[in-house]
């Protein structure tokens, strides 16, 4: 493959019809934040507001995500944020396996461009796609693993925290741990 570039990624994504999610989209949602960041957060897919605005994590869950970032000492634009699929699944259903497979190479390409030292999966779908097929978010969240020199961890998706108050405390513990890891290695 020729030298990787953001322009190439954008051209591919904006013209992509590889899966059925292309049918209902208003925007292809590629990323937000710093493309120079050493930490990358990965969610599952755009919701309604993300689809309308063309940026990930800008709806209610995104607002909670930003609050967690700021509380942990990160400026929201200092980190890099992307999703497993780049077009909105209808009615916010989980992206299907075939849709994830169709889209995952774009995320791999993004990861190769960013070269993050830390990857944080937000929620079960991202953790299963990135860390381990058998990942159990309730049991395995908050645990660090290192793969090919990259530290990885998963925590609850902010939308799950909005649905369940009891997840607030563990997700905050995870964000404190993310801050400590960032300070340690970045
Ligand atoms: S979700 Fe991904 S693979 Fe499917 S159409 Fe959108 S960009 Fe292409």
Residue of 15, 27, 28 best suited for mutating to test ligand 1, as the one with most atoms within 8 Å of CB:
28
Mean pLDDT of 126-148: 98
Write down the CATH superfamily of domain 6-185: Uracil-DNA glycosylase-like domain (3.40.470.10)
Residue 101 and residue 163: Cα distance in Å, rounded? 28
Task: Give the confidence band of 3 by pLDDT, cuts at 50, 70, 90.
Answer: confident
pLDDT given for residue 1 in this prediction = 45
pLDDT score for 2? 54
**What would the mean pLDDT of 10-25 be, rounded to a whole number?**
98
Q: State residue 79's pLDDT score.
A: 98
Long-range Cβ contacts of 68-75 (<8 Å, 24+ apart): 68/158, 68/171, 68/172, 68/175, 69/175, 71/172, 71/175, 72/175, 72/176, 72/178, 72/179, 73/179, 74/39, 74/179, 74/182
Q: Which atom of ligand 1 is nearest to the CA of 95?
A: 1
Query: Is pTM, for the whole model, over 0.85?
Result: yes
Kindly give the distance from the C-alpha atom of residue 39 to the centroid of ligand 1, in angstroms, as a whole number. Answer: 24
Q: Which pLDDT tens digit goes with each residue over 79-98?
A: 999 999 999 999 989 999 99
Residue 104 Cβ inside 6 Å of ligand 1? The answer reads no
pLDDT in tens, 28-65: 999 999 999 999 999 999 999 999 999 999 999 999 99
Is 86's C-beta closer than 6 angstroms to any atom of ligand 1?
yes
* In the chain, % of residues over pLDDT 70: 99
Ligand 1 nearest atom to the CA of residue 22, by list position: 5
pLDDT digit string (tens) for 145-184?
A: 999 999 999 999 999 999 999 999 999 999 999 999 999 9
As a whole number of angstroms, the distance between CA 69 and CA 179 comes to 9
Best mutation site among 22, 44, 47 for ligand 1 pocket (most ligand atoms within 8 Å of CB): 22
């Amino acid at each position: 493959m020729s030298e990787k570039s953001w322009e190439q990624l954008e051209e591919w994504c904006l013209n992509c019809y590889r899966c059925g999610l292309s049918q209902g989209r208003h925007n292809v949602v590629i990323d937000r934040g710093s493309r120079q960041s050493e930490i990358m957060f990965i969610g599952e897919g755009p919701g309604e507001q993300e689809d309308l605005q063309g940026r990930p994590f800008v709806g209610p869950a995104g607002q909670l995500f930003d609050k967690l970032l700021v509380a942990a000492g990160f400026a929201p634009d200092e980190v890099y944020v992307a999703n497993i699929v780049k077009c909105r699944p209808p009615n916010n259903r989980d992206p299907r396996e075939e849709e994830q497979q169709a889209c995952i190479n774009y995320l791999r390409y993004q990861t190769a461009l960013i070269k993050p030292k830390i990857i944080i999966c937000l929620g079960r779908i991202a953790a299963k796609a990135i860390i381990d097929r058998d990942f159990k978010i309730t049991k395995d969240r908050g645990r660090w693993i290192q793969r090919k020199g990259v530290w990885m961890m998963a925590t609850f998706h902010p939308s799950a925290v909005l649905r369940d108050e009891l997840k607030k405390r563990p997700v905050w513990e995870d964000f404190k741990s993310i801050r400590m890891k960032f300070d340690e290695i970045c």
